[in-house]
A and B are shown apart, each in its own frame.
Chain A
Amino acid sequence: MMRVGMGRSRNCEGINRREILRVGGLSLLGLSLPEIWRAQAKSPTPNRDISCIFLWLDGGPSHFETFDPKPNTPDNVRGPYGTIQTSVPGVHFCELLPQLAERMNQFAIIRSMTHSDGSHAPNSMMTGFAGGRTSHGAVVTKMMGGSGDMPPYVHLGKKLGVGGGHLGAVYNPIEVLDPTGGKLALPGFELGADVPAARFQNRSDLLNSIDQMREGMHQSREVEKMDVYYQRAISMLTSPKVREAFDLSKEKETLRDRYGANFFGQSCLMARRLVEAGTRFVQIKWYDGPAWDAWDVHGADLAGMERMEKMLCPRFDHGLTALLDDLKLRGLLDTTLVVAVGEFGRTPKINQYGARDHWPNCFSAFFAGAGIPGGTVVGASDREGGYPANTPVSPLDFAATIYRKLGIDTNTDLRIRPFIGSAAPVAALM
């Protein structure tokens, strides 16, 4: 990402005219945000204005040690942890998620997710298709756009390899590698020391600079039509609202502690700020490190399921409940869909390291907000948690559920068909 204000060729004002707009993929030669807004203006947008926070539990969390414990199974399946009664009678979670258990009446769990891809590729669960490249966030961005001047689609964490896909790079998310720490240096939004904010925010200077740049460009009606979108893109670049949405130092330290002083917790807090400011789809990748990939607890690096017990589940429990509570407190939960899922679950049988391996045949997914009926358990796994006992839910059904909840009519809107095929949303979550 280019830093605004830096560059080898400068005008007498110290501004690099060619680079000043090459920010976060927002180049003059291929404006992304303006194109999105243009597409949004052409297509009717749904009435409902729902955002989505998608928590990607990279590595594949064990459903046994989270939402679907099996206490009455043999030793080599049960695992070393107890189970905890949730706020919904008859529903139990693993004891590693006590705060989520208290709030079960506010969200829904699918216990019968299933597919056949045991690799770490996020494609199945993030696009609906094993070989898919077009993420839910990209589809939503294309069909619904953003709200106001906020980037419509933001990804927090390392790259995932899915995004705009065949819709084009224009629908890739804005990527923020690490939201933790104080002031965030938003990629591409840093001002060089030689470009004072006041100068940069002088919109007439900017527009003049754009005009000068366009002198050399092919003059066409198409370019003229792009003006309103250029201006809107500039407006976003210069907006304090955008910068502030990414600035976690604006939050009280007590709240930051409540979310958890770790990448996941702080990402959840940033996601709340982003949807509050108008971003449509925020995607958080559970981060690597330390040790191996996130939720991929084979036990081969640290024996047993210590990482689940001491790091992963506590952070997940703490951060996600902080997010739910905070969204609710701010009146945002009804208009924010929160989803949490990984590539797959983990093997019923515990391995030689005292942990579990990949298992796509049956696993759990989490849904909250946006009218999701609280206290709902969709489907069930069999006695040993190996296969769905009923109500199997495919990645496409999962995708259709997200799209429907965000206001896309999966029954009648033909534009969504390429992304869900004949799948339908999970009825119990509607």
Chain B
Amino acid sequence: MMKTTRAGFPVLLLLIGWLVSPSADCSSAEPTKLLIAFASYKERGKQPKVYFYEHDGVASGKVVGQIDSVNQRSDHHPSLSSDGRYCAFASEQENQVGKIQLWDRTEKKAVDLPKINDSPNGQLHPTLSGNGKLLAFSAWNRPMAGTRWHVVLYDVAEKKIGDLPNLNQGEYDQRMPAISGDGRWLAFTTNSKNGVGQTDLFLYDRDAKQALTLSELNSKNMDAEPSLSHDGKLIAFVSDRPGGAGGRDIYLFDRATSKFFPLPGLNSAAHEQAPSLSPDGRYLVFVSERISGIGERDIYLYDRQAKKLLPTPDLNAKQEDIDPCVIALP
């Protein structure tokens, strides 16, 4: 039996803390079982549906379910709660405006969200907090908000629109939100002139009720499509800044150190887009379009610890597969 010395006890505490908290250096020893939600055109050439895929964190996986859709409705951009039970997604019935929906995977039915879609105009890009209680999304020309894109926050538990003081200010667009698992942080894309370049990423702190301009992250080029770790310290995003592998590339930024983590073997000469970071920051799923792929846009899974792409059997189809979201299964 191992004895715990006085010197060893703090070390043990540190070890426990390291194991349960999101790890910037992703030094967790064992692969993690993953759940990936994604949209695919494989069954319907014109309207995507949302599917769920389980992966063992090494090399095996399979599709385990889907969201029941209706005829001529596009379902896309899924976002999972950290237990994998709930999935927010965007949907457009043909010739109707986009709406936000929430799916209960256990009950296999939609969750009622009163007033979330109280707008005659389009809404999309939902993002769900870890506990499934907060749902942020982009809304175009929402009543009383002005003719631009805004980030809207919906409290699922209270079933009402929440406040975002000091966000959605000025005459700029705010869109593509990503909420951290702990619900505190909201990253979003904006064309605000207060940024560094054209389209930039800002980060809204719900506790401080202020947005950070992330000047050390942004470039003079396009920076968009954020995804946050559970604690909001890591931000994965897309940029077409010079010096990348070619076209659009994915970057990972550590707010604690204001540095970028290398992602060897992830980016390519093709475009990489739509990154989703697992809550612990170890895994990244994203979309890329490569000759070596199966369809045009395919989904890839990257393990930061192994520093390589992992096989994803039966995930991609000859049709397009897009909008992935990854969590670690409990």
Asked if B198 and A84 sit within 8 Å, CB to CB, the answer is yes
Contacts of A258 in B (CB 8 A): 246, 269
User: How many residues from A make CB contacts under 8 Å with B?
Assistant: 44
Asked if B45 and A289 sit within 8 Å, CB to CB, the answer is yes
Contact with A along B98-117 (1 / 0, CB 8 A): 10000000000000000000
A45 within 8 Å of B (CB atoms):
no
In whole angstroms, how far apart are the Cα atoms of A244 and B289 in the complex? 25
B311 within 8 Å of A (CB atoms):
no
Asked if B173 and A318 sit within 8 Å, CB to CB, the answer is no
In whole angstroms, how far apart are the Cα atoms of A75 and B170 in the complex? 11
In whole angstroms, how far apart are the Cα atoms of A340 and B94 in the complex? 29
B291 within 8 Å of A (CB atoms):
yes
Contacts of B146 in A (CB 8 A): 75
Given known contacts A257-B269, A352-B141, is B45 in contact with A290 (CB within 8 Å)?
yes
Asked if B173 and A80 sit within 8 Å, CB to CB, the answer is yes
B97 within 8 Å of A (CB atoms):
yes
Asked if A82 and B198 sit within 8 Å, CB to CB, the answer is yes
Given known contacts A261-B296, A291-B74, A311-B297, is B171 in contact with A303 (CB within 8 Å)?
no
Q: Which of A183-191, A202-210, A294-302 contacts B (4 or more CB under 8 A)?
A: A294-302
CB distance from A349 to the nearest CB of B (A): 9
Contact of B191 among A80, A99, A289 (CB under 8 A): A80
B274 within 8 Å of A (CB atoms):
yes
Asked if B149 and A80 sit within 8 Å, CB to CB, the answer is yes
Asked if A290 and B191 sit within 8 Å, CB to CB, the answer is no
CB distance from A44 to the nearest CB of B (A): 44
Which parts of A73-102 form the interface with B (CB within 8 Å)?
74-76, 80-84, 95-96, 98-99
Which parts of A334-364 form the interface with B (CB within 8 Å)?
350, 352-355
Contact of B90 among A74, A81, A253, A303 (CB under 8 A): A303
Which chain A residue has the least Cβ–Cβ distance from B269?
A: A257
Contacts of A352 in B (CB 8 A): 97, 120-122, 140-141
Asked if B148 and A301 sit within 8 Å, CB to CB, the answer is no
CB distance from A137 to the nearest CB of B (A): 26
Given known contacts A81-B199, A254-B269, A314-B271, is B122 in contact with A354 (CB within 8 Å)?
yes
B221 within 8 Å of A (CB atoms):
yes
B92 within 8 Å of A (CB atoms):
yes
Which chain A residue has the least Cβ–Cβ distance from B289?
A: A261
Given known contacts A304-B140, A352-B120, is B199 in contact with A95 (CB within 8 Å)?
yes
Asked if B46 and A301 sit within 8 Å, CB to CB, the answer is yes
CB distance from B77 to the nearest CB of A (A): 9
Asked if A76 and B141 sit within 8 Å, CB to CB, the answer is yes
Contact of A302 among B92, B271, B293 (CB under 8 A): B92
CB distance from B178 to the nearest CB of A (A): 15
Asked if A302 and B191 sit within 8 Å, CB to CB, the answer is no
Asked if A75 and B147 sit within 8 Å, CB to CB, the answer is yes
Which chain B residue has the least Cβ–Cβ distance from A74?
A: B147
Given known contacts A75-B148, A81-B198, is B191 in contact with A261 (CB within 8 Å)?
no
In whole angstroms, how far apart are the Cα atoms of A76 and B149 in the complex? 10
Asked if A303 and B246 sit within 8 Å, CB to CB, the answer is no
In whole angstroms, how far apart are the Cα atoms of A306 and B92 in the complex? 13
Contact of A303 among B97, B198, B222, B271 (CB under 8 A): B97
Asked if A289 and B289 sit within 8 Å, CB to CB, the answer is no
Contacts of B304 in A (CB 8 A): none
Which parts of A28-57 form the interface with B (CB within 8 Å)?
none
Contact of A98 among B98, B140, B240 (CB under 8 A): B240
Given known contacts A98-B221, A258-B246, A352-B141, is B41 in contact with A290 (CB within 8 Å)?
yes
Asked if B291 and A257 sit within 8 Å, CB to CB, the answer is yes
A366 within 8 Å of B (CB atoms):
no
Contact with A along B40-54 (1 / 0, CB 8 A): 010001111000000
Which parts of A120-163 form the interface with B (CB within 8 Å)?
none
Contacts of A82 in B (CB 8 A): 191, 197-199, 222
In whole angstroms, how far apart are the Cα atoms of A354 and B176 in the complex? 13
B131 within 8 Å of A (CB atoms):
no
Given known contacts A290-B45, A310-B273, is B198 in contact with A304 (CB within 8 Å)?
no
A16 within 8 Å of B (CB atoms):
no
In whole angstroms, how far apart are the Cα atoms of A258 and B290 in the complex? 9
Which parts of B281-310 form the interface with A (CB within 8 Å)?
289-293, 296-297
Asked if B149 and A354 sit within 8 Å, CB to CB, the answer is yes
Contacts of B246 in A (CB 8 A): 257-258
Contacts of B274 in A (CB 8 A): 310
A278 within 8 Å of B (CB atoms):
no
Contacts of B320 in A (CB 8 A): 290
In whole angstroms, how far apart are the Cα atoms of A80 and B124 in the complex? 14
Asked if A314 and B121 sit within 8 Å, CB to CB, the answer is no
Asked if A304 and B138 sit within 8 Å, CB to CB, the answer is yes
Asked if B147 and A300 sit within 8 Å, CB to CB, the answer is no
Contacts of A262 in B (CB 8 A): 289, 296-297
Asked if B222 and A95 sit within 8 Å, CB to CB, the answer is yes
Asked if A260 and B289 sit within 8 Å, CB to CB, the answer is yes
Contacts of A83 in B (CB 8 A): 198
Interface pairs A-B: 10 shortest CB-CB:
A82-B198, A303-B98, A354-B140, A303-B122, A76-B147, A80-B173, A303-B124, A95-B198, A75-B148, A290-B41
Show 26 residue pairs from A and B whose CB-CB distance is below 8 angstroms, ordered by the A residue.
Answer: A75-B147, A80-B148, A80-B175, A81-B198, A95-B222, A98-B222, A256-B291, A260-B289, A261-B290, A261-B291, A261-B292, A262-B297, A263-B296, A290-B46, A291-B74, A299-B98, A300-B95, A300-B96, A301-B47, A302-B74, A302-B92, A302-B98, A303-B122, A318-B247, A350-B141, A353-B97
Instruction: With A261-B289, A261-B291, A311-B297 given, name 8 new contacts (CB 8 A).
Output: A81-B198, A82-B198, A84-B221, A299-B122, A302-B92, A304-B98, A309-B224, A310-B273
